C-alpha cells in the first residue's frame, strides 16, 4: 500500500461544508456550504471554484441523469441549472414547519433522491465523535466522517469492525466521497462554525476541502437522480 497523503486542495472556509459529490464528466467536485446557502463546484484541473447562492440553507447536492443537478434547499427538492444559476422546485415537504430543513441527502442505486430532516437522532461514539457523512468503496466497505473526531474511518458494514482510521488536521470533518482518476482519491468536507478564534488559529484549514490519496482502495461512481 502506498503512503497516505492528505492535503487541503481548497481553502474554502466553509461554515459547514457537506455533501461532496464527484462529477466525472467535468472532473469536478460538487459540495455545499449549508448555512452560507451555497452550492459549489471545484474544477480539479483549473483549481477554480464556482459558487451559486440559493435562498435557503442547501443541505445536499446530487447529479441528475437528464443533466444538471438536484439539491435539497430548505425543505424543498430542487433542480439546478448551473448555466443560468436557476433552481426549479420539484417538491416541498413540511410546509407547516418554518424552522425545519433537510439535513442531508443521497441518491440510491435506483435513482431515487432521499433526504432526512433535522429531527434525525445520532448515536454518539467514544471521544464525543458524531458519525456524519459517509460513502462506500469498491470493496463494499463503509467510510464515515466523524464530526468532532477529525477523522474518517473505514468500517465493515457486516461485522461493524473498524478497519482503518485516517486522521485529518481539522476536528469538524463532515462528509466524504471518492473521486479523481478511477475514483482513487477521497475528498473530505469540514466545518468551522462553532470554533472560537483560538481554535481557528490552531486549525487554519478548517472549512476547507481535503484530498486523501494512497488509501489503497478505490471508490464507486455516485448514483444520479433519475427524475
- Per-residue pLDDT for 13 more than 70? yes
Report the b/e string of 4-41 with b at 16+ CB within 10 A.
eeeebebebebbbbbbbbbbeeeebbbbbbbebbbbbb
Distance CA 52, CA 43 (A): 14
pLDDT in tens, 75-123: 899 999 999 999 999 998 876 666 677 778 899 999 999 888 755 432 3
pLDDT number for residue 95 = 67
pTM here is 0.92
What is the average pLDDT across 27-43?
A: 98
Domain covering 5-213 assigned CATH 1.10.340.70 in the classification? no
Q: Where are the domains of the chain?
A: 5-213
**Taking a C-beta distance cutoff of 8 angstroms, is the pair 225, 65 a contact?**
yes
Distance CA 76, CA 37 (A): 13
DSSP-assigned states of every residue in 141-198: -EEEEEETTTEEEEE-TTT--EEEEEE-S-SBEEEEEEESGGG-EEEEEEB-TT--HH
Any known ligand binding at 132?
yes
Measured between alpha carbons, how far is residue 9 from residues 3, 43, 106, 126, 133 in Å?
A: 18, 11, 24, 30, 19
| Catalytic residue positions, numbered | 132
**For the ranges 6-15, 16-25, 77-86, 188-197, which has the lowest average pLDDT?**
77-86
pLDDT number for residue 121 = 32
**CA triple 208-181-18, angle to 5 deg:** 30
Any known ligand binding at 205?
no
pLDDT in tens, 150-201: 999 999 999 999 999 999 999 999 999 999 999 999 999 999 999 999 999 9
**Taking a C-beta distance cutoff of 8 angstroms, is the pair 14, 23 a contact?**
no
Any known ligand binding at 18?
yes
Any known ligand binding at 185?
no
Please give the torsion angle defined by the CA atoms of residues 207, 21, 129 and 3, in that order, rounded to the nearest 10 degrees.
-90
Amino acid at each position: 500500500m502506498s503512503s497516505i497523503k492528505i492535503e487541503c486542495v481548497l481553502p474554502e472556509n466553509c461554515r459547514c461544508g457537506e455533501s461532496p459529490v464527484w462529477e466525472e464528466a467535468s472532473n469536478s467536485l460538487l459540495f455545499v456550504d449549508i448555512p452560507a446557502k451555497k452550492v459549489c463546484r471545484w474544477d480539479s484541473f483549473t483549481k477554480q471554484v464556482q459558487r451559486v447562492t440559493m435562498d435557503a440553507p442547501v443541505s445536499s447536492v446530487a447529479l441528475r441523469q437528464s443533466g444538471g443537478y438536484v439539491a435539497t434547499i430548505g425543505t424543498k427538492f430542487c433542480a439546478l441549472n448551473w448555466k443560468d444559476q436557476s433552481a426549479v422546485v420539484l417538491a416541498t415537504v413540511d410546509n407547516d414547519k418554518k424552522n425545519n430543513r433537510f439535513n442531508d441527502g443521497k441518491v440510491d442505486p435506483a435513482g431515487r433522491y432521499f433526504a432526512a430532516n433535522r429531527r434525525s437522532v445520532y448515536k454518539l461514539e467514544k471521544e464525543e465523535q458524531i458519525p456524519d457523512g459517509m460513502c462506500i468503496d469498491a470493496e463494499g466497505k463503509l467510510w464515515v466522517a466523524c464530526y468532532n473526531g477529525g477523522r474518517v474511518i473505514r468500517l465493515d458494514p457486516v461485522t461493524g469492525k473498524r478497519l482503518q482510521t485516517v486522521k485529518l488536521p481539522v476536528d469538524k470533518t463532515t462528509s466524504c466521497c471518492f473521486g479523481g482518476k478511477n475514483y482513487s482519491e477521497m475528498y473530505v468536507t469540514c466545518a468551522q462554525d462553532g470554533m472560537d478564534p483560538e481554535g481557528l488559529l490552531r486549525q487554519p484549514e478548517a472549512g476547507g476541502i481535503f484530498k486523501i490519496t494512497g488509501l489503497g482502495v478505490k471508490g464507486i461512481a455516485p448514483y444520479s437522480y433519475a427524475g
